[in-house]
Structure 1
Amino acid sequence: MTKRIRIIGAASGIGAQDRACADGPVAYHRSQAWHELEHHPQVDWGRTLFAPEGPGMSAAGRIAGLCRQLADEVDLALRAGEFPLVIGGDHSVAIGTWSGVARVAGAPVGLLWIDAHLDSHTPETSYSGAIHGMPMACLLGRGDKRLLNIGLVGLQVSAPHTVVLGPRSYEPEEIEFLQQMGVRIIDSDEILGRGFAACLDEAVAIVGGAPNGFGVTLDLDAIDPGLAPGVGSPEPEGLWDGDVLAAVRRLSALPGLRALEIVEYNPDRDSQGVTADLISDLIAEILPAVAG
């Protein structure tokens, strides 16, 4: 069935150390890369959301407010029969995206988390205090209480049907937590040893088997910074952009896919707009399967 793709901007850099990714959704919306897509009849830019502001509001409180708004927007899109595509913003917005998906599904969903990092710290284990290093833990029911239970009470994602693909910078506390929860981690060393195709096959089997559907969240820093420089936390020796594009194309054809999220776009670092172009390429990859 043909669906309209509803793009939702989540303009927050509050959770990051480099806050310029707050400008990512608006900058992409104004880019030539977006203008080349915006006239497609099945793609529509819905709303761009911003974190609430107020006297004495903490970072976690502002992020929680944005994530509640985002969960509601994702909920509305899904109930309207649309396909939500979230453009961030730092990765803390994932708490809102996948809480909204889980709310509509009525149960935790599978998730393919493509990232250079594990994003599975809690306030107690974080080395930096940056909340964009915590969203996976929050979705698995652990972290600041303001960031929990936004979609469902308890877990928003199903740990046995969740995979982190491509991490190459993380701390032991994150590994321990995810292993305890039963999340599959396929790091850069394993990808180098087995090959990306074999690792993707395994990831697809895990997330695609989720009984309540699954989603894909892509932190652009998963990709090698030579190919995608416009990110807030670049790490050397990342994934090849062609592999990521092929992965998104394949995943979009699976019947259980409920939403796609692309985060951590930092226009201040986007030399010649190549990362904005990549975002448009990623959207184009899902069009044949999702929008028809």
Structure 2
Amino acid sequence: MVAANSRKHARVRIIGAASGLGAQDQACENGPVAFHRSQAWHELAHHPRLDWGRTLFAPAGDCGGPTGRIAGLCRHLADEVEHALRGGEFPVVIGGDHSVAIGTWSGVARVAGQPVGLLWIDAHLDSHTPETSYSGAIHGMPLACLLGRGDKRLLNIGLAGVQVSAGHTAVLGARSYEPEEIDFLQASGVRIIDRVELEERGFADCLDEALAIVTAAPAGFGVTLDLDAIDPLLAPGVGSPEPEGLSARDVLEAVSGIAGLPGFRTLEIVEYNPDRDRLGITASLISDLVGRILPSDNN
């Protein structure tokens, strides 16, 4: 098992995961390439300890339909994340729809040798199965898959069984979901902190609780950020916007604080839809988020 290192001693490697197959609006497939070409990325690219590794695409052809193609991409992504971690690098995955999380966290779990903790920041719970989904969209299913429920092609990619520890997983910022998802996550032991609770307690207090849960995972933890968690007035470039989201400032400050925590293994930022962005606002936010986890030049 490879030890979890603080990002302060790591080189940061960007991995693009260019898929919109799991989403209703598939333009998020273009998100990683659009961000890589953006001025916001070029302002970061000079950093001496930051590289753009590879941008991965779903395999062409039928490959078992959309689910089979997503599974193929997730297997490839898990391999890339594993390679980065074993090489002492800190992976930052840029998606693509949130189905790519199946690959990201399977790769992290494989390196850890056991399920990891996960802070899931999202407007949605993403915990449907094919039997409960109202839309059939796979980007509404990745957390369930990581917890061992879903289409068998999307399971067991990193480890046999679950990839993330339910007792060390917290969802923060949810404000649009169905009762079947709530029932599944509560029965699994996942902590859900929704918009109502955030408004009652405040972001800082809720974040502290969520971090206490995920950082207690023995094998380390990660953060997946669906950009639709943020208020769409501040991050318009998403495919499934929901009103009254988190403030961009709160999320940036949260990532800054998390960046130096022991056991922090990987950051994932997903659902960037360049067709819906305005004036590069969301691309600039992604750049700011990546900048918050970069090691200082003198580390």
Give the unaligned 5+ runs of structure 2.
Answer: 1-7
Shift of 1:290: 11
Confirm or deny: 8 A CA contact 2:49 2:297 kept in the other structure: no
Following the alignment from structure 1 to structure 2, what is the Cα–Cα distance between the partners of residues 275 and 104? Answer: 31
Deviations 1:184-207 (A, max 9, x none): 000000000000000001011111
1:88 aligns with 2:88: no
Q: Tell me which residue corresponds to 1:170.
A: 177
Structure-to-structure mapping, 1:1-292, within 5 angstroms: 2-55=9-62, 57-288=64-295, 292=299
Shift of 1:110: 0.1
Identity between Structure 1 and Structure 2 (%)? 77
Tell me the amino acid that sits aligned with residue 140 of structure 1: L
Following the alignment from structure 1 to structure 2, what is the Cα–Cα distance between the partners of residues 252 and 290? Answer: 15
Following the alignment from structure 1 to structure 2, what is the Cα–Cα distance between the partners of residues 187 and 261? Answer: 20
Deviations 1:55-107 (A, max 9, x none): 46311100000000000000000000000000000000000000000000000
Secondary structure at the aligned position of 1:166 is classed as strand
Tell me the amino acid that sits aligned with residue 164 of structure 1: V
Following the alignment from structure 1 to structure 2, what is the Cα–Cα distance between the partners of residues 260 and 122? Answer: 25
Following the alignment from structure 2 to structure 1, what is the Cα–Cα distance between the partners of residues 63 and 55? Answer: 24
Secondary structure at the aligned position of 1:201 is classed as helix
Change (3 A) 1:38 1:131: same
Confirm or deny: 8 A CA contact 1:140 1:157 kept in the other structure: yes
Change (3 A) 1:291 1:161: farther
Q: Tell me which residue corresponds to 2:4.
A: none
Confirm or deny: 8 A CA contact 1:5 1:290 kept in the other structure: no
Deviations 1:103-149 (A, max 9, x none): 00000000000000000000000000000000000000000000000
Shift of 1:2: 2.1
Confirm or deny: 8 A CA contact 1:221 1:233 kept in the other structure: yes
Q: Give RMSD over aligned pairs.
A: 1.2
Following the alignment from structure 2 to structure 1, what is the Cα–Cα distance between the partners of residues 142 and 226? Answer: 12
Confirm or deny: 8 A CA contact 1:75 1:104 kept in the other structure: yes
Following the alignment from structure 1 to structure 2, what is the Cα–Cα distance between the partners of residues 12 and 108? Answer: 25
Following the alignment from structure 1 to structure 2, what is the Cα–Cα distance between the partners of residues 189 and 176? Answer: 18
Secondary structure at the aligned position of 1:272 is classed as coil
Number of aligned positions between the proteins? 292
Secondary structure at the aligned position of 1:158 is classed as strand
Give the unaligned 5+ runs of structure 1.
Answer: none
Following the alignment from structure 1 to structure 2, what is the Cα–Cα distance between the partners of residues 83 and 21? Answer: 24
Tell me the amino acid that sits aligned with residue 50 of structure 1: F
Tell me the amino acid that sits aligned with residue 67 of structure 1: C
The TM-score normalised by the length of structure 2 is 0.96
Shift of 1:253: 1.1
Structure 1 runs, 4 residues or longer, greater than 6 Å off: none
Confirm or deny: 8 A CA contact 2:63 2:69 kept in the other structure: no
Secondary structure at the aligned position of 1:111 is classed as strand
Deviations 1:212-233 (A, max 9, x none): 0000000000000000000010
Shift of 1:53: 1.4
Following the alignment from structure 1 to structure 2, what is the Cα–Cα distance between the partners of residues 60 and 166? Answer: 27
Q: Tell me which residue corresponds to 2:3.
A: none
Tell me the amino acid that sits aligned with residue 241 of structure 1: A
